[in-house]
Amino acid sequence: MKEFSKMNAEEQAELYQQLLKEYNWYCAMGLKLNMARGKPDADQLALSDPMWTIVDEHTPMVGADGMDYRNYGLLFGTQEARKLMAEMMEVDWQNVIIGGSSSLVMMYDTIMRGMMFGMLHSPEPWFSCRDRKFLCLVPGYDRHFAITQDLGFELIPVPLFEDGPDMDMVERLVKDESVKGIWCVPKYSNPSGITYSDEKIRRLAAMETAAPDFTIMWDNAYGIHHLYPDQPEEIADIFALAREYGHEDRIIAFASTSKVTYPGAGIAALAASKANLDYIAKHMTHQTIGADKLNMLRHTLFLKDLEHVKQHMARHAALLRPKFELVLNQFAKEFDGCNIAQWTAPRGGYFITFDGPEGCAKRIVQLCADAGVVLTDAGATHPGKQDPQDRTIRIAPSLPPVEELSRAMEVFCLCVKLAALEKLQKN
Amino acid sequence: MKEFSKMNAEEQAELYQQLLKEYNWYCAMGLKLNMARGKPDADQLALSDPMWTIVDEHTPMVGADGMDYRNYGLLFGTQEARKLMAEMMEVDWQNVIIGGSSSLVMMYDTIMRGMMFGMLHSPEPWFSCRDRKFLCLVPGYDRHFAITQDLGFELIPVPLFEDGPDMDMVERLVKDESVKGIWCVPKYSNPSGITYSDEKIRRLAAMETAAPDFTIMWDNAYGIHHLYPDQPEEIADIFALAREYGHEDRIIAFASTSKVTYPGAGIAALAASKANLDYIAKHMTHQTIGADKLNMLRHTLFLKDLEHVKQHMARHAALLRPKFELVLNQFAKEFDGCNIAQWTAPRGGYFITFDGPEGCAKRIVQLCADAGVVLTDAGATHPGKQDPQDRTIRIAPSLPPVEELSRAMEVFCLCVKLAALEKLQKN
């Protein structure tokens, strides 16, 4: 297709009318497609259904810790679950705490502990730091941003490049003592799908920060979520690097089985230095007696070890890959030559970042919604939901079946073109 | 037996030597008995083992909310679980939030929300109230006290009588604006086992408090945990009473299935006014996408409704009652006439409160520990673990099998007598 901006007004108007006709045809279909969140689809969920009855009357109820899985106890979770998650997180099992079904809750608790008591090296609780700030990589994950926003942090946007954070900017910003931390999704980042380079990770580990309690929220949500398991992207060991510089306590890492087994009923984990774990335990012991050990047991029986986890994740990949490829192929075909859009081509994770023409993201999302296709809100990829260029949209291809996804993307591409033409006509 | 204080020094010394011989005989047995916490025993746990495989390939994965139990969603939990817990808590299901496996975590989160954001009617976050205070009924539950202590509240002890709190004292104390709340276990209280009278509950609901954000932490942990299911103790509906006085937002109620199904793997619930739930949701939406719905499903399939829950709880009672009766009979027999001890005779819950001679509780617990019988720490029943009279001990009869419990109580009674005689000899 011809470059939109090189069409004359008449051509643009003609194309617009033609696309509008198509759009109205889709609207009349009464579609109801939801691509708002990164939810696994029904086939993916079914992969873990053997877990339902995996604990039965033959299952020993006492594990390595010598305690009944059904009763109270084990603040940090069962040894078996800690070992499983440690393998997935590439850390020592004694550095792991198993939580409930959500790593988001563990992140929230971590920030809340910082607010209330301070982190391990805090001079005072974060609550008492009136102009507290948190670095937010953009495009990024709305739920990360929302936690720190609700707790009164000023959110400072920092560009996320193809190989990780704009480290020059990060290094400059952390000279301010009131900058208390940064949210990171280091592998297959949400939503751009990029993976941090070793060099960027080393700089995060090495940099000197004015705040002694600067915290890297290392949300490795997609650490084993490769779309191409034969060519997995790997990241540097941030804990090992941080140890080199004496900054190990700076990092709190998170992972979960939400997109390995079940989003609503997985197990979550936090990994940190021994000193951090001791500090966390001091307060955590007042909060809980320990998370659901029967669910940990189900997971350790079902997932067994890293080798089995990888096999299981390859089955997820086989279901997800065609969806990602469908979206990317459709983008390539529909926007070829138009010069109105850019997008990322992730090799793992759950999202694609799409950049439309400036000032069009909200309009595109609205047009899609009017046609029955619900996308993640425009702006959600930016702190405070404010995308200053109004161009970035998070695409979540996982939930709809392939047929529906294909239909949804037809609608989406149409809406992008309509919005782009509307903008050109206005200029 | 003769009253200890009426024996002469010789008689006391002779008895002491005789008891010491017995004590040494027990010590030589190398006992290892733990009565520190209110844990259900293995037979009680087994009552819920049918739950393991209750979700299977025939179970529909979509409930009343139209959402897949396995996927993300439902901040307040499934409708089925909310209805089940609402029946148990005697509230409307729309006033219920289902949490993870622990009501303690929900209490902690509630207090943390108060600290960070304030409660619904707070003029400022509790964190900003420098001389914040919380009322602690004694004897009471150490984990309640510990939450508010760790969060910097001054803990004010208030006597808990046989029919509930010393309300004259409570009403006096709440005239101080910095008194922000009170911990209550209204039925079969931990650890005395007493149940609040309707009049006491009415006064809690009616009283005027200086703090607009005064909060009653209504931990109805043992609401259906009767030892004598044919003669259950019931309590007044505090929400209904509070509505009469316009104080409904004052109450946050909690319950769980920790001692219905599994302590490590039950479901927890919070009940509160609609206004409170709206307020909680505002912050909770940043904390979690919702708790484990598969575990809610296991519970609703297994426990079905209040009628089935009652039948299930009667099976617990049948296992627990003999243990409570054993302890109470042993106390009556061993301390008959000695005039050195008092104890409560609960008709539900998990604990008995034992009061020994003043200044002896720590010594008794130590003597027991030396003989291999671990009790709850002396002092645990009081805020800050400080029992000014050093006489109260929490007895938790549930965990040991009957044989072991009997043995443990023999040791305990011996230790009480030894400590009492030591004290008399010192005077």
CATH number of the domain bearing residue B166: 3.40.640.10
B166, with CB counted inside 10 A (0-12, 13-18, 19+), is middle
Residues 122-151 of B with CB under 8 A from A: 125, 127, 143, 146-147, 150-151
- Within a domain: A287: yes
SS3 percent helix, strand, coil of chain A, rounded to 5, is: 45, 15, 40
The CATH number for A24's domain is 3.90.1150.10
Which of B190, B287, B398 has the highest number of chain A CBs within 10 A, making it the mutation to test binding with A?
A: B287
Same domain? For B66 and B40 the reply is no
Banded model confidence at residue A391, pLDDT cuts 50, 70, 90: very high
Average pLDDT over residues A19-24: 97
Predicted local confidence at residue B427, as pLDDT? 76
Sorted by sequence, the CB contacts under 8 Å of residue B190 that are 6+ apart come out as B38, B140, B141, B221, B222, B349, B350, B351, B394
Same domain? For B106 and B35 the reply is no
Same domain? For B74 and B31 the reply is no
ipTM over the 0.90 cut-off: yes
Interchain pair B105, A45: CB under 8 A = no
Asked which of A33-37, A103-107, A246-250, B255-259 is least confident by mean pLDDT, the reply is A33-37
Same domain? For A265 and A320 the reply is no
Predicted local confidence at residue A3, as pLDDT? 95
Average pLDDT over residues A322-350: 97
Measured distance CA(B317)–CA(B271) in Å, rounded: 26
Same domain? For A296 and A210 the reply is yes
Measured distance CA(A410)–CA(A381) in Å, rounded: 23
- Give the model confidence (pLDDT) of A353-366 as tens digits: 999 999 999 999 99
Which of A73, A101, A143 is opposite residue B292, by nearest beta carbon? Answer: A101
Same domain? For B24 and B89 the reply is no
- Within a domain: B51: no
- Within a domain: B55: no
- Give the model confidence (pLDDT) of A175-209 as tens digits: 999 999 999 999 999 999 999 999 999 999 999 99
Report angle CA A194, A195, A200 to the nearest 5 degrees: 120
Asked if A126 contacts A352 with a C-beta cutoff of 8 angstroms, the reply is no
Q: Give the count of domains, chain A.
A: 2
Interchain pair A265, B37: CB under 8 A = no
Contacts of B146 in chain A (CB under 8 A): 286
Give the domain-ending residue among B285, B304, B323: B304
**Among chain B residues, CA nearest to A74:** B264
Give the domain-ending residue among A304, A324, A357: A304
Give the domain-ending residue among A256, A280, A304: A304
Which of B52, B70, B115 is opposite residue A116, by nearest beta carbon? Answer: B115
Asked if B82 contacts B76 with a C-beta cutoff of 8 angstroms, the reply is yes
Same domain? For A31 and A106 the reply is no
- Within a domain: A158: yes
- Give the model confidence (pLDDT) of B329-373 as tens digits: 999 999 999 999 999 999 999 999 999 999 999 999 999 999 999
- Within a domain: B56: no
Interchain pair A287, B104: CB under 8 A = yes
Same domain? For B139 and B39 the reply is no
Residue A1 has pLDDT above 90, yes or no: no
Same domain? For B234 and B322 the reply is no
Local structure of residue B50 (DSSP, 8 states): G
Q: Number of helices (H) and strands (E) in chain B: give both, helices first.
A: 13, 13
Measured distance CA(B139)–CA(B260) in Å, rounded: 24
Predicted local confidence at residue A77, as pLDDT? 98
- Within a domain: A57: no
Same domain? For B267 and B292 the reply is yes
Predicted local confidence at residue A264, as pLDDT? 86
B130 lies in which domain range?
Answer: 61-304
- Within a domain: A238: yes
* Separation in Å, CA of B393 to nearest CA in chain A: 21
Average pLDDT over residues A32-39: 92
Residue A296 has pLDDT above 80, yes or no: yes
Asked if A135 contacts A215 with a C-beta cutoff of 8 angstroms, the reply is no
- Within a domain: A179: yes
Predicted local confidence at residue B164, as pLDDT? 98
Peptide bond into A139 cis (omega under 30): yes
Interchain pair B264, A102: CB under 8 A = no
Q: Strands, E, within A228-349: which ranges?
A: 251-256, 268-271, 342-343
Q: Which of B215, B287, B297 is nearest to B261 (CA)?
A: B297
Asked if A269 contacts A89 with a C-beta cutoff of 8 angstroms, the reply is yes
Same domain? For A194 and A226 the reply is yes
Percent of chain A with pLDDT over 90: 98
Task: Tell me, yes or no, if B43 comes closer than 8 A to chain A by beta carbon.
Answer: no
What's chain A's average pLDDT? 97
Task: Tell me, yes or no, if B231 comes closer than 8 A to chain A by beta carbon.
Answer: no
Q: How many CB atoms lie within 10 A of CB B15?
A: 18
- pLDDT less than 50: residues of chain B: none
Predicted local confidence at residue B264, as pLDDT? 86
Average pLDDT over residues A301-328: 98
Predicted local confidence at residue A427, as pLDDT? 76
Same domain? For A133 and A215 the reply is yes
Contacts of A57 in chain B (CB under 8 A): 49, 52
Measured distance CA(B337)–CA(A226) in Å, rounded: 75
Predicted local confidence at residue B1, as pLDDT? 79
Amino acid at residue number A412: F
Predicted local confidence at residue A280, as pLDDT? 98
Task: Tell me, yes or no, if B73 comes closer than 8 A to chain A by beta carbon.
Answer: yes
Using alpha carbons, list the distances in angstroms from residue A48 to A52, A74, A104, B9.
8, 26, 21, 73
- Give the model confidence (pLDDT) of A53-105 as tens digits: 999 999 999 999 999 999 999 999 999 999 999 999 999 999 999 999 999 99
**Among chain B residues, CA nearest to A103:** B288
Task: Tell me, yes or no, if A298 comes closer than 8 A to chain B by beta carbon.
Answer: no
